[in-house]
Every structure is written in structure tokens, then in C-alpha cells.
């Protein structure tokens, strides 16, 4: 892929993208495949995951599917082995799988709070462990790599109705930095960065709009959407491709000195 004179090629690299049956994960996987990476689509949604694989293959990309629940240690072993066996390596991990629940603090059930932390935080932690073990020198892949964690603007500032989600995404931001520092000091050759998207229309993005209304934080979805847009200096909606381009940069050799960074992709919302 050529962007403003910079050649971004992921030829010869193998990527595992969690939660990539749909939404931002599918868009990121498609972009990485277009740049030449072989991509392992991982998700709990098998049919949708297979459809994403078929779409990438139809466009000439290399892709396969593995069923993986990111909260399961056993599933992580299966997913990493499947990636190495299918593609002969494991160079890029995108910890993208995530969920949100929109509710006031006083109405958020303990079960929901713990489920969000399990998927959004424990899932990322297990991914970092799997990447360190497999990508470090001597690991089953063993040639270093890049890990990209999907945090959110909700990992940078507070939002009414999203306390559990904000807590989880704030944790992802600092897990990222701690792992980046540690892997750097240990000489693993593994960079770790986080991406912080603003509101993007996906199943989750649309559910956030509905959730704000249901929690009594907005009159209707259109007014919630307008409230988000009014805080966006660039004055336009983000699309999944905006996030995929950021992931492509962080996954590639064009960012060799970038680690522990938080790449905010939100049209300037959190800057204002």
C-alpha cells in the first residue's frame, strides 16, 4: 500500500487479529492483508469470521479463521499455534476484541462490570503474554513483532454511562505502556502501542448511541450523535478505515521507534 510516498508493506508477516469477524477488527485485518500480511481472523462468531476470511481471500489476500475466546488461556495457545502453523510465523498481534455496556455507575451490575474487565483487560493481558512467549527470541515464532491494543478515547477521559468501559480502556492504555517498556528493556524486539478511536459506526458504535438513550443520557440517538460530533474539531465522522490506517502504520516497519505510544484517532475530540 502506498500512502503519501511511503511504501507500507507487510509482505512475509503473519498477523493474529482478535474479534475480527466484524467491525474494526475486520477492517484492520482487511487492511493488513491488502498490505501483504497473512491474517488469522479470530473471534467467537464463527460464521461471520468465515465470511470475513472469504471476503479477504476473494480480494486476493491470505486469511484463515480460528475460534478464540480471548478470556481463555487455552484458546490463546490454540490461536497462536494455528497462526504459526498456517502462516509460518507470528509477527503482529492486534488485541481488538472488546465489549461495552452503557449504564450509570449505580445501575451497572457486578456481573457486567466483571465481564467487561474479563474481555477488555484480561483478554489483552493474555494476548501480551502470548505475544511475549511466542515472538521473543527463542519463542515458537521468535522474530520479534508488533502488538497493537485497541483502547478508546474512553481510556483517556471519563464519559457518563461508560464507567466500566472507561475503567477497562484506561487499564489497556497502561498495560500497553508497561509491556512496551518491559519488552524493550528485555530486548525482545516487540513494540507495543495503543490506538484510541473516537466514536466509529460499527455494531458497538451504534450500540453506544442506543445505550446513552436507554440510560437517560440523551433524548434520542440523533441528538447523542450530534453531541459527539459537536466535540469533533475536524467536524466529520470517523470511519473504520481511519482506525485500520493507524493500525497499519503501527504494525509496519515504518514505526520502528514507536513503542508505548497512544495513537488517538478521533478527529481531535479529546484535544478540545
Which residues of the chain form contacts with ligand NAD (CB under 6 A)? 18-19, 21-25, 43-45, 68-71, 96-99, 119, 150, 152, 197, 199-200, 202-205
Active-site choice (65, 113, 165, 183): 165
CB 220, CB 3: distance < 8 Å: no
Q: C-alpha grid cell for residue 9?
A: 508493506
Find the shortest distance in angstroms from Cβ 149 to ligand NAD.
Answer: 9
Cβ distance to ligand NAD smaller for residue 116 or 135: 116
Please identify, using beta-carbon distances, which residue of 126 and 132 lies nearer to ligand NAD: 126
* Cβ distance to ligand NAD smaller for residue 97 or 103: 97
Beta bridge mates, 264: 196
**Beta carbon of residue 19, minimum distance to ligand NAD (angstroms, whole number):** 3
Straight-line distance from the first to the last Cα atom of the chain, in angstroms, rounded to the nearest whole number: 32
Q: Min. distance of Cβ 4 from ligand NAD in angstroms?
A: 25
User: CA of 175: how far to CAs of 129, 180, 194, 248, in Å?
Assistant: 11, 8, 9, 21
For residues 21 and 171, which CB has a smaller minimum distance to ligand NAD in the complex?
A: 21
Q: Name the minimum Å distance from CB 188 to ligand NAD.
A: 24
The least distance separating ligand NAD from the CB of residue 176, rounded to whole angstroms, comes to: 13
Query: Which CB, 133 or 237, lies closer to ligand NAD?
Result: 237
- Based on the residue annotation, tell me whether 165 is a catalytic residue of this protein: yes
The set of catalytic residues is 165
Amino acid at each position: 500500500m502506498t500512502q503519501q510516498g511511503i511504501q507500507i508493506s507487510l509482505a512475509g508477516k503473519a498477523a493474529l487479529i482478535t474479534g475480527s469477524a466484524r467491525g474494526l477488527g475486520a477492517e484492520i485485518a482487511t487492511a493488513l492483508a491488502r498490505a501483504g500480511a497473512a491474517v488469522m481472523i479470530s473471534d467467537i462468531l464463527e460464521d461471520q469470521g468465515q465470511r470475513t476470511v472469504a471476503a479477504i481471500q476473494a480480494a486476493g489476500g491470505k486469511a484463515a479463521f480460528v475460534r478464540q475466546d480471548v478470556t481463555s488461556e487455552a484458546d490463546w495457545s490454540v490461536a497462536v499455534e494455528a497462526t504459526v502453523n498456517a502462516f509460518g510465523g507470528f509477527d503482529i498481534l492486534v488485541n481488538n476484541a472488546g465489549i461495552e455496556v452503557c449504564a450509570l455507575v449505580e445501575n451497572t451490575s457486578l456481573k457486567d462490570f466483571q465481564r467487561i474487565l474479563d474481555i477488555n483487560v484480561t483478554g489483552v493481558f493474555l494476548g501480551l503474554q502470548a505475544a511475549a512467549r511466542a515472538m521473543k527470541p527463542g519463542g515458537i515464532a521468535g522474530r520479534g513483532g508488533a502488538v497493537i491494543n485497541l483502547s478508546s478515547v474512553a481510556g483517556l477521559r471519563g464519559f457518563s454511562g461508560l464507567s466500566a468501559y472507561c475503567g477497562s480502556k484506561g487499564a489497556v492504555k497502561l498495560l500497553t505502556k508497561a509491556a512496551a517498556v518491559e519488552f524493550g528493556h528485555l530486548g525482545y524486539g516487540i513494540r507495543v502501542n495503543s490506538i484510541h478511536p473516537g466514536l466509529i459506526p460499527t455494531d458497538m458504535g451504534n450500540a453506544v448511541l442506543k445505550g446513552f438513550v436507554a440510560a437517560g443520557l440523551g433524548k434520542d440517538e440523533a441528538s447523542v450523535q450530534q453531541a459527539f460530533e459537536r466535540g469533533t474539531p475536524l467536524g466529520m465522522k470517523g470511519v473504520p478505515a481511519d482506525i485500520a490506517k493507524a493500525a497499519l502504520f503501527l504494525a509496519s516497519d515504518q514505526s520502528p521507534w514507536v513503542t508505548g505510544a497512544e495513537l488517538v484517532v478521533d478527529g481531535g475530540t479529546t484535544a478540545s
